[in-house]
Amino acid sequence: MKVLSISVAAYNMEKLIRQNLDSFVGSSVRDDIEVLVINDGSTDNTADIVREYEEKYPGTVRLINQQNAGPGSTVNRGIENASGRYFRRVDADDWVDTGLEQYVNVLKTTDADMVVTNYTCVDDKTGQTRFVKINGLKAGVLQDFDSVCADLSLEMHAVTFRTDILQKNNIRLFNGFYTDIQYLLFPSIYVKTVLYTDCNVYMYRVSLSGQSMSAASMQKNIKMHDDMVFSVVNLYNQAKAISSPTAQYILSKLVYVCGTQLGTLLSFVPGSANKKRLFDFILRLKKECPDAYARFCRYKTMRVLRFSGGLLYSVICKMHRRRLGL
């Protein structure tokens, strides 16, 4: 059995996919990993390039083609096809650092439900890097998740899950965008133990034009983001009945994505329809998750909106749009 399955989501990535794959196949632990490249209906030469690697590195690189269905669907396909003991996501425009070898060797010796590593953000335009070291966990010590999770602040780039947790509990993401948070949180209610290893693994490329978190993309796909927010609301309500610490871990992320949704709703040109959409979101959150709503209301913008009874909506919109350069 392979130690680690890596799911690589690829859509029209012919310019970057070689850097991604080279970072895996050039490693001394190449035989311990499988790289599942989910080609999400690319119309360029992505599939042909991956097929080259598949032929050169059989058993390590595997091409899986599908019709274009969105980023979340590629993760689902990766989970379905994974045969390694552990599972990790790496997007096709990102790559892994030399810490991969130390990390895989740690995976060989642990049975932790979740393994956490450091990562680095790399600015695509300037090449500047920002190292992100994980706080709140003791390196090399298997810890009870409930005892540490309430104070954890993690991102998708830091986490690895035991594959059977994902497969046996039928973890499935929405097909579209903004599913990183689902991948991070959906398995958490099944995680009992966590291990942090102090090595840098994921190299996360930022500032790419057209990324899904740009203002224009957020506006275009606001319904997807809204659906994601309320999927996390449902998860929080489920977790609250099981484990208070895990629920608090989920709640902190939930409030953060609510803030992102608020920012997007305020980025539209002010008008009656857009104002209604904003307050419909706020009222739904208040109804379905009072805990998140209470924290959400601590945001300065929310305090002003509530204090003014919505009368300052247009002013706040214009100020927010100016900050975004809209």
| Residue 137 pLDDT > 90 | yes
Question: pTM value?
Answer: 0.93
In b/e form, how buried is each residue of 135-151, taking b as 16+ CB within 10 angstroms?
A: eebeeeeebebbebbbe
Q: The domain at 4-206 falls in which architecture?
A: Alpha-Beta Complex (3.90)
Mean pLDDT (whole number) for 291-315: 94
The phi, psi pair for 178, rounded to 5°, reads 65, 30
Query: In the block, which residue shows the tokens 């497969």?
Result: 167
Do residues 94 and 205 lie in contact, with contact meaning Cβ atoms separated by under 8 Å?
yes
How much is the CA Rg of the chain, to the nearest whole Å? 20
Within a 10 A sphere around the Cβ of 111, how many other Cβ atoms?
10
User: Pick from 220, 140, 125, 228: which is nearest to 184 by CA?
Assistant: 228
Helix (H) or strand (E) run with residue 88 in it: strand 86-89
The DSSP secondary structure of 71-93, one letter per residue, reads HHHHHHHHHHH--SSEEEE--TT
In the DSSP assignment, the letter for residue 44 is: S
Query: 142, 80, 63: which is closest to 110 by C-alpha?
Result: 142
Boundaries of every domain in the chain: 4-206, 215-324
- Cα 177-195-74 angle, rounded to 5 deg: 25
| Band of residue 125 on the pLDDT scale cut at 50, 70, 90 | confident
Q: What is the DSSP string of 194-217?
A: EEEEEEEEEEEEE--TT-TTSHHH
Q: Please, which pLDDT band fits residue 242 given cuts at 50, 70 and 90?
A: confident
7-17 pLDDT, tens per residue?
A: 999 999 999 99
Q: What is the pLDDT of residues 151-207, one digit of tens each?
A: 899 999 999 999 999 999 999 999 988 999 999 999 999 999 999 999 999 999 987
Give the helix/strand (H/E) hosting 25.
helix 17-25
- pLDDT over 70 (residue 213): no
